[in-house]
Structure 1
Amino acid sequence: MMNQRSVLSRRRLLLSVLAGALLTGCGGPGPVYPGPETLPLLDGSRTRSITPENPTGEPGQGGRAHPDSTLDSRATNARAADSLGQGWKVRPFIAVQAGETVTLMDADGPGTIRHIWMVEGLSRDHVLRFYWDGEQAPSVEVPAPDFFAVGHERFAPVNSQMVAVNPANSLNCFWPMPFRHHAKITFTNQSDKELRLLAYQITYSLGKIPRNTAYFHAQWRQADTRTQNPYVILDGVQGRGKYAGTFLAWTQQTDNNWFGEGEIKFFIDGDREFPTICGTGTEDYFLGSYGFPQSYSGLYSGTTLPAHEADSLPNRWSLYRWHVLDPITFGKDLKVTIQALGWWRSAENKYRKLNDHISSVAYWYQTEPHAPFPAWDTSKRNNL
């Protein structure tokens, strides 16, 4: 018979295995998305962080820039450290020329990006692209402010679990982004003006990735609802995955009345004419009710610009909804749409289609390879 010590030892081992399974979703090595309960657990991962002061994230390579600005044309603030020397805030940010693409992250895995902080000027001419494991087509392609739930190039505070936007222009995201072999992030300045200050920090952990881990994706779209209604948030997704979030920058162009009667629809795994998931209204999807009488920002949803800026048009809304606790799973394909539908204030009390402009970011995880993203009409990128 087993002695008491052996029984206790086996029980501890079983509890450890069960805890690992709960944290990873598959019993793999180490949690993919740590929460407060995982902070005491030592999983063998190693933390790295990429900034202009340590462009590679390698151990012991931070703060090595020299104040002599002739050695690095991007270090526009280097001379501020002339009297202090190496190691004293020589390269805290970089400049990006008009039309130039710079690589922010170029790192081997396996690992998981945990946090991205950025200050870039809130311009849709600044575009982020993420590439996983050597792929040629990006898995993320989004204007920088929209990626962080900032619409219309207008600052508004966001206080959510996955995104935090703080005064005066601090953009943060906490989406876990695992990669098995390699991660590359680029930043493109598509404007005709130099960006004098791009500040960023990309913090990631190196460690094993469970077998059933999917890759993070984000896609930006825009359209006028006069020609596209229902508006397409996402289409053409092929593979297995989970839909994780929606951000909409909605502009009322011709009508300042209530705009939020439209239903969001998720067409899953072969749905064609009718969806599996059909919402009941725009404000319902963003976890509000009876319109948006005031702005709010919560863990999983928010409308962050003032509910009505003025009686004059255009009227602008920034809306986010994170499916962190209620992800929408799909097995082979996914399409997401939302109706631009308003309320006709008359004796008849009728719905009516709207001629609005919508920009969107869809966030999801899926197996690779992913389907190609639709090409942007760059002439309309700054339609705010």
Structure 2
Amino acid sequence: MAEVGTGLNPAGKLGKGWKISPSIVIPSGETFTLADIQSSGIIRHIWITTLEEELRSYIIRFYWDDNETPSVECPLGDFFASGLRTIGQIDSLPVCVNPKRAFNCYWLMPFKKSCRIEIENRSDEDLITYYQIDYTEEPVPEDSLYFHANFNRINPLPSKEVYWIADKIEGVGRYVGTYMTWGVNNSGWWGEGEMKAYIDDDKEYPTICGTGTEDYFCGSYNFEKFDRHEYQEFSTAYSGMPVIEYPDGVYSSQMRFSMYRWHISDPILFKSSLKISIQALGWTNWHKDQSKREYLPLQDDLSSVAFWYQNLTDKPLRPLPADELLQIN
């Protein structure tokens, strides 16, 4: 039972047991261990909140079964499908974001020996955060796969290059979700690019090839509203675009979109390797006559989190970008 903490003064007259330590303070430049579980079990729910806006300054990591290599390494907000400064309501199965800034995830995360969850504070200020991790201690089958998540960002994407959401995952597993922020650096429509999944022995041609960016995120026709020529925000069990940031005519100069696509009912299974890419593609011109239309490769600001389960290996995740390349201006 806590006797000291951030609530010590308000609870002074009430004493032990009266919300003495509801939150933690992570000093600038330090790493705090949220959970250190020495048993087999399953993480079933994580709730965390903070009023800080620069969520890419806080890195969350998960380590399974005494492995020194993290299986999850990701900015805090992006892990909860909230990579932009604007936080929106998310009503999906594995991730919920509720008022005011309550980040929840329900990904099942089994472990056979141990689990360690950490947050690194890379900001110049101390971080105050509240959190709760719910788990069960229970036997875990030997063939259980481990939860993984990895972040990437390219700004700007070089012309005529594809963006890699997942770059050479190796092992046996299933891909279960994509989260992306998309900063548009051109005017006009930006979502003609195809998502492609290269499974196992695929080389030149992928097993899965989509039809457009908004189609991959389970929308269609530019994410437009049913009755007028405007973008439509949405959040559903398996897909959503919960946040759109619009230019303000002064300092916020670009449009930005926050999108998720969970492959829970339709996982992408792989036996040896997986790579997933998406194209940034718009139009040089738009003409009613399709024979006169031309695609325009875009140089947009793209970031993503890939979510998947696989057997546990010592292979390191793709490194995070440098601190200055994480932030969204």
Q: Provide the C-alpha distance between the structure 1 equivalents of 2:129 and 2:245, rounded to a whole number of angstroms.
A: 31
Which residue of the partner structure matches residue 281 of structure 2? 341
1:306 aligned partner = 244
Greater length-normalized contact order (CA 8 Å, ≥ 6 residues apart): 2
| Corresponding residue number in structure 2 for 1:167 | 99
CA distance in 2, matches of 1:225, 1:353: 10
**Match for residue 317 of structure 1?**
257
SS at match of 2:222: coil
Unaligned segments of structure 1, at least 5 residues: 1-63, 70-74
1:202-213 residue pairs with structure 2 within 5 A? 202-213=133-144
Matched-pair contact (CA < 8 Å) for 2:6–2:22: no
Greater share of helix: 1
Equivalent residue pairs, number? 312
Alignment of 1:260 onto 2:205: no
Aligned 1:269-308 pairs, distance under 5 A: 269-293=200-224, 294-306=232-244, 308=246
Write out per-residue CA displacement over residues 106-129 of structure 1, whole angstroms, 9 at most, x where no aligned residue: 002210000000013241101100
Task: Give 1:346 deviation, angstroms.
Answer: 3.8
- Quick one: which amino acid aligns to residue 264 of structure 2? V
Aligned to 1:146, the other structure's residue is in SS state helix
Deviating beyond 4 angstroms after TM superposition, the runs of 4 or more aligned structure 1 residues are: 307-312
Quote the residue 2:228 is aligned against. Answer: none
Which deviates the most, 349-358 or 315-324?
349-358
Call closer, same or farther: CA 1:198–1:373 in 2, change over 3 Å: same
Q: By how many angstroms is 1:79 displaced?
A: 1.3
Letter in 1 for 2:191: G
**Map 1:187-198 → 2, pairs under 5 A:** 187-195=119-127, 197-198=128-129
- Aligned residue for 2:9, secondary structure, equals helix
1:358 corresponds to 2:302 = yes
Aligned-residue offset at 1:313: 3.3
Two-structure CA RMSD over aligned residues (Å): 1.6
Corresponding residue of 1:65: 2
Q: Deviations over 1:113-158 (max 9, x none)?
A: 0000001324110110000000111000000000000022321110
**Residues 33-81 of structure 1, C-alpha deviations (whole Å, 9 max, x = no match):** xxxxxxxxxxxxxxxxxxxxxxxxxxxxxxx111xx4xxxxx2222110
CA distance in 1, matches of 2:259, 2:33: 30
Answer whether contact 2:46 2:106 (CA < 8 A) is retained: yes
Aligned partners of 1:215, 1:269: CA distance in 2, in Å? Answer: 19
Alignment of 1:132-151 (within 5 A): 132-151=64-83
1:342 counterpart SS class? strand
Give CA-to-partner distance per residue, 1:303-353, whole Å, 9 cap, x none.
011375568731000000000100000000011100000123344321111
Counterpart amino acid of 2:302?
I
| Equivalent residues in 2 for 1:1-384, closer than 5 Å | 64-66=1-3, 69=4, 75-120=5-50, 121-122=52-53, 123-195=55-127, 197-223=128-154, 224-226=156-158, 229-253=161-185, 255-293=186-224, 294-306=232-244, 308=246, 313-347=253-287, 348-376=292-320, 377-384=322-329
Which protein has the bigger strand share?
A: 2
